[in-house]
Amino acid sequence: MSTLVLGLGNAILSDDGVGIRVAEAVRARLPEDAGVEVREVCIGGLRLMEEMIGYDHVILIDSYLSPGGKPGDFRRLTLDDLRSVTPTEHSFSPHDASLTVAYDMGLRMGLPLPETVSIYAIEATNVTDFSEQLTPEVEQAVERVTEAVLDELAETAARAPKPGINAP
Amino acid sequence: MRKISIDPITRLEGHGKIDIFLDDEGDVANAYFIVPELRGFEQFCVGRPAEEMPRITTRICGVCPEAHHMAAAKALDALFHVEPTPVAHKVRELFYMAFFVTDHTTHFYALGGPDFILGPDARPAERNILGVIHKVGLDVGKQVIDTRMRNHHVIRKMGGRGVHPVAAMPGGWSKPITEEDRAEFEEIARKNVDFALFSLKVFNDVVLGNPAYLEMVLSDSYTDRTYSMGLVDEKNRVNFYDGQVRVVDPDGEEFVKYHPVEYTSHIEEHVEPWTYLKFPYLKAVGWKGFVAGKDSGVYIATPLSRLNVSDGMATPLAQEAFEKMYDTFGQGKTPSGRNRPVHHRLATHWARLIELLYASERMLELATDPEITDPNVRAPVTETPDEGVGCVEAPRGTLTHHYWTDEKGILTRVNLIVGTTNNYAPMAMSVKKAASSFIKKGNVSNGILNRVEMAFRSYDPCFGCATHSLPGQMPLEIVIRNPKGEVIERLSQNVA
């Protein structure tokens, strides 16, 4: 069982960096022998899919803006949820495919993609001002999301035949 | 007056919004392409050491961090008055060609190509790279992914990191290329050349071989006669890494050629009340509004404009492809013997593939250059910094970084003109033109929406600036409003 935690976002664009912050916090609290890889990246679509190749279980952490969302709230989503949140396969992204299209494409091509993809989506407020600070509500969410991610990692490890030995 | 908004429901990497106002007859009165601005970048940079800029500016944009990395490195060369060693330039350029290959490949197969391979009226749910694979075969998808991954491997190996490279520095590059790496890069470049030739063949068969598509490319709906801009080498050939900025007029004659450091003498920016982003234009011609022609300072900076300003390509196979494109459009020659420019915006997709071939061939040239493994990849910095301009061609247009520092190298001012910004005015014009062609007497449908999107998709615009808030895509919605602003009809691309 190989597990990858990916913090997504821009570390210098206010709340857009919340995924990066959570990933850093997860790394700091994971035992060294946890065998979980943690990375911070600023990518989407095809590149994100390519990053997940070869892992059984991937956890994505990213900021989210939903109509009427409360800043700092977070949800755990699956790829199927992502399809229903934006129920289109059409990518308007100016330069790439959507994650779900990229993932489906990878599966069609027989790439070894994770069976389980968990997405922690954190409601953001400000993703347009350059700053290394999160807004207060989103800052407070970092600890809660970190706990949730660590819980999921612990559950995954408990289910694995040899807990803790799951490096790729 | 009726208002149609093509509006993002949720956030995306680089979201825009199109407001289309109809007149009483139901025809397009005006169209506004509105881009939200990311704020405070200059303030974020001021007070930091200038040498951090190649790493900070890669964070501006999640799509082309390598372009910012390179422009920043060149601005630092100028700022610190240091000339990189010959091999340093070559190493940087090799890295940059690998980036161009991935970037142009992605645009053609994931974004621009589906309009042709699946057709402009394909359902939104199919109009993506999955649909391309379905239509052309799994092997194409495999080649696209292989091309991206082998060039990302080069970027990671040379740049020190996968996504946000860290290797460029004033005076050169932080690590030399070993013989083992060189041999690997050579092999990768050869595969890139094959893939680029294959892609041009796909374009030839699918687009040029289809009279309906060719008619669409040539139609007035997707044509604007503006000035063209791009970097050229000493023989006026396309160059992505270095050179002088050349501008040709809509008839194809050279209008001006200048060193990038002189950009403020040639480019000014127009401000409109309905958007934060500014509209660069040619100072000597002047801002005459969102109009084409020789009297309007609007210019494009795209793969098509780069070919329009150049007298040819610096590599043999790309030169053949270049000649074929200009012969096909049959615009003839100017009195001075230059190709007349191609103004059909959808031809930008063709130009992009010619550039893909050039980048691949140039990468191969550099990977087989006997000097490329020279360990002397960095010239020492000894001078006091003050001010510097760095300029490269980003995949989506001429990219300029301009830094000012105190004598300790602490930034006091920063100015950037990013690739997409150059094209803001022509994109707004293209959107209006396509909307005017396809929306008549109030008749609006999803098919029309895609035709409008195609107008700006050819520019490969990027307003992303590294924001990747979920869900990572932007569904569109058309809102039709009555003169009071009340919603009377709602159409969406999501209704697949």
Task: Return the pLDDT at A2.
Answer: 93
Q: Is any Cβ of chain B less than 8 angstroms from the Cβ of A78?
A: no
Cα–Cα dist A123/A144, whole Å: 13
For residues B162 and B116, membership in a common domain is answered with yes
For residues B88 and B199, membership in a common domain is answered with yes
Q: Is residue A152 part of a domain?
A: yes
Domain boundary among B320, B343, B366: B343
For residues B331 and B357, membership in a common domain is answered with no
For residues B488 and B436, membership in a common domain is answered with yes
> Is the ipTM value over 0.95, yes or no?
no
CB pairs under 8 A between A and B: 204
For residues B96 and B182, membership in a common domain is answered with yes
**Interchain CB distance below 8 Å, A128 and B37:** yes
Does residue B473 contact residue A72 with C-beta atoms inside 8 Å? no
Instruction: Name the residue with tokens 């022998």.
Output: A33
For residues B297 and B350, membership in a common domain is answered with no
Chain A: residue nearest B45 by CA?
A: A130
pLDDT tens-digit profile, chain B (496 residues): 566 555 432 223 345 567 778 888 888 888 777 766 677 888 889 999 999 999 998 887 666 889 999 999 999 999 999 999 999 999 999 999 999 999 999 989 988 888 888 888 887 777 888 888 888 889 999 999 999 999 999 999 999 987 789 999 999 999 999 999 999 999 999 999 999 999 999 999 999 999 999 999 999 999 999 999 999 999 999 999 999 999 999 999 999 999 999 999 999 999 887 777 789 999 999 999 999 999 999 999 999 999 999 999 999 999 999 999 999 998 899 999 999 999 999 999 999 999 999 999 999 999 999 999 999 999 999 999 999 999 999 998 999 999 999 999 999 999 988 888 899 899 989 988 988 888 888 777 667 777 888 888 888 876 654 233 443 334 344 444 544 555 545 544 432 2
**Distance (Å) of CA B191 to CA B144, B147, B364, B368, B483:** 12, 8, 10, 14, 57
Query: For B322-379, what is each residue's pLDDT tens digit?
Result: 999 999 998 899 999 999 999 999 999 999 999 999 999 999 999 999 999 999 999 9
In this prediction the pTM is 0.90
Average of per-residue pLDDT across A93-97: 60
For residues B363 and B322, membership in a common domain is answered with no
Segment 81-110 of chain B within 8 Å of chain A by CB: 106-107, 110
**Interchain CB distance below 8 Å, B475 and A47:** no
Q: Is residue A145 part of a domain?
A: yes
**Helix residue spans in chain A (DSSP H):** 18-29, 45-51, 79-85, 99-108, 136-159
Query: How many independent structural domains does chain A possess?
Result: 1
Cα–Cα dist B20/B478, whole Å: 9
For residues B143 and B173, membership in a common domain is answered with yes
Report DSSP state, residue B330.
T
Q: Is residue A89 part of a domain?
A: yes
CATH number for the domain including B127? 1.10.645.10
Q: Is any Cβ of chain B less than 8 angstroms from the Cβ of A48?
A: yes
The residue range of the domain holding A48 is 3-159
Cα–Cα dist B226/B421, whole Å: 16
Q: Is residue A165 part of a domain?
A: no
Q: Is residue B198 part of a domain?
A: yes
Distance from CA of B281 to the nearest CA of A (A): 23
Segment 422-451 of chain B within 8 Å of chain A by CB: none
Whether the pLDDT of residue A168 is over 70: the answer is no
Of residues A5, A59, A35, the one with CA closest to residue A166: A35
Chain B: residue nearest A96 by CA?
A: B110
**Interchain CB distance below 8 Å, B59 and A16:** no
Segment 106-145 of chain A within 8 Å of chain B by CB: 106, 108-109, 111, 119, 121, 124, 127-131
Give the three-class secondary structure for B322: helix
Question: Residue B18: what are its φ and ψ, rounded to 5°?
Answer: -115, 120
Task: Return the pLDDT at B15.
Answer: 52
Question: Residue B250: what are its φ and ψ, rounded to 5°?
Answer: -60, -20
From chain B, the residues in CB contact with A124 under 8 A are: 469
Indicate the residue of B40, B128, B469 with minimum beta-carbon distance to A65: B469
Domain boundary among B319, B343, B367: B343
Q: Is residue A164 part of a domain?
A: no
What is the rounded radius of gyration, in angstroms, for the C-alpha atoms of chain B?
Answer: 22
Q: Is residue A33 part of a domain?
A: yes
Task: Return the pLDDT at B472.
Answer: 37
Q: Is any Cβ of chain B less than 8 angstroms from the Cβ of A5?
A: no
For residues B238 and B198, membership in a common domain is answered with no
Task: Return the pLDDT at B62.
Answer: 63
Distance from CA of A93 to the nearest CA of B (A): 5
Report DSSP state, residue A110.
T
Chain B: residue nearest A40 by CA?
A: B163
CATH number for the domain including A77? 3.40.50.1450
For residues B310 and B361, membership in a common domain is answered with no
Domain boundary among B283, B317, B343: B343
Q: What share of chain A is helix, strand, coil (3-state, %, to 5)?
A: 40, 20, 40
For residues B366 and B454, membership in a common domain is answered with no
Q: Is any Cβ of chain A less than 8 angstroms from the Cβ of B63?
A: yes
For residues B301 and B231, membership in a common domain is answered with yes
The residue range of the domain holding B297 is 224-343
HSE (side-chain half, CA atoms, 13 Å) at B163? 21
Query: How many independent structural domains does chain B possess?
Result: 3
Question: Residue B187: what are its φ and ψ, rounded to 5°?
Answer: -60, -45
Q: Is residue A14 part of a domain?
A: yes
